[in-house]
Amino acid sequence: MKALSALIGRNIKLFFKDKGLFFSALITPLILLVLYVTFLGNTYRSSFLSALPEGFTVADGLIDGLVGGQLISSLLAVCSVTVAFCSNLLMVQDKVTGARQDLTVTPVKRSVLALSYYIATAVSTLIIFLITACAGFLYLAKVGWYLSVTDILLIFADVFLLVLFGTALSSIINVFLTTQGQMSAVGTLVSAGYGFLCGAYMPISNFSDGLQKVLSFLPGTYGTSLLRNHAMRGVFTEMANSGFPEEVITGIRDSVDCNLYFFDRSVETGTMYGILFGAAVAAIAVYVLICKMKRT
């Protein structure tokens, strides 16, 4: 335990003292937030309005809240992996600088070393995530606030699980990287691809049936859906209170992936939590196992 806590402390300290690591991790979600608001906001808004049945009018604030909820949930879903990749750069950096040699020459077990990188990255990512979430909430407060305290707590719970999963995923990939060049290349690929795979850039409901079925096997998809559910629940309640028919609301929920289907079977939010948690635990186990088996 002494070794584990010392290593976690070292890794977190290094992350926040290394301005390159810290700012690159912090700036990624903030840039994404600006890009989402600037480029995707209007697209989402038009898409909602065109999806409404003829004769329905929706208050601007409600639409803004809906668009804002979708933007924030997309942002947090993507960042769970991209920020974890940035934060996890230390693992590769230690190989580049030789510090890893200095750590492995001690009696500390490889599994402890692996776990220390994991926990430190998860903590650093969570801190960045909380900053991002707060920035997102400020945006929502400006455009249309429909969140309850429970929603906020559930969003934090979603974020926590996504960070556990994203950190484990980045750890499994990073463990094979030995240069910062490889790290940047993989980081770019993952951040570009993961947004589509988890349904953050485009709702999965827009994809073909076959692709939807394939994506339903990926745990990240359920993380995005959980965030969507909790970030947009208040808006849907308000819509219902305003007299929107149930089928219209269900249609909108389907179109933004609040309702996910595994081979035509609706997946409940409890099941989504189970899938995400199980995937995170499995990924951590795989990562620790790889580290134990690898000699260098």
Partner 1 sequence: MKNVIEIQHLSKSFGDIKAVQDLSFHVRQGQLFAFLGINGAGKSTTISILCGQLPKDGGTVTIDGADLDRNIDVVKQNLGVVFQNSVLDKALSVRDNLKSRAALYGIVGKAFEDRLQELAALLDFSDLLKRTVGKLSGGQRRRIDIARALLHSPKILILDEPTTGLDPQTRKLLWDVVTQLRTENHMTVFLTTHYMEEAADADYVIILDSGKIAAEGTPLQLKNTYTGDFITLYDTNETQVRALGVPYETLHGDVYRLAIPDTRAATQLITAHPTLFTDYEIVKGKMDDVFLAVTGKSLVGGEQA
The DSSP-derived string for 250-275 is HHHHHHTTSSEEETTEEEPHHHHHHH
Q: Given the complex with partner 1, which of 67 and 112 has the nearer CB atom?
A: 112
Q: How far is the CB of 191 from partner 1 (least distance, A)?
A: 25
Smallest distance, partner 1 to C-beta of residue 6, A: 3
Nearer to partner 1, 109 or 213 (CB): 109
Closer residue to partner 1 in complex, CB, 149/293: 293
Nearer to partner 1, 15 or 85 (CB): 15
Minimum distance between the CB of residue 20 and partner 1, rounded to whole angstroms? 10
Pick 108 or 186: Cβ nearer partner 1: 108
User: Which residues are paired to 261 by β-bridges?
Assistant: 266
Among the listed residues 194, 120, 183, 172, the one whose alpha carbon sits nearest the alpha carbon of residue 283: 172
Distance in angstroms (rounded) separating the CA atoms of residues 240 and 244 = 5
Closest separation between CB of residue 196 and partner 1, Å?
A: 35
**Shortest Å, Cβ 19 to partner 1:** 9
Distance of CA 291 to the CA centre of its chain: 24
- Within a 13 Å sphere around the CA of 141, how many CA atoms are in the beta-carbon half? 7
Q: Which residues bind partner 1 (CB under 8 A)?
A: 2-3, 5-7, 9-10, 13-14, 17-18, 97-99, 101-108, 295-296
| Both tokens assigned to 63 | 């639409």
Which CA distances in Å does 202 have to 107, 179, 197, 268, 288? 48, 32, 9, 21, 33
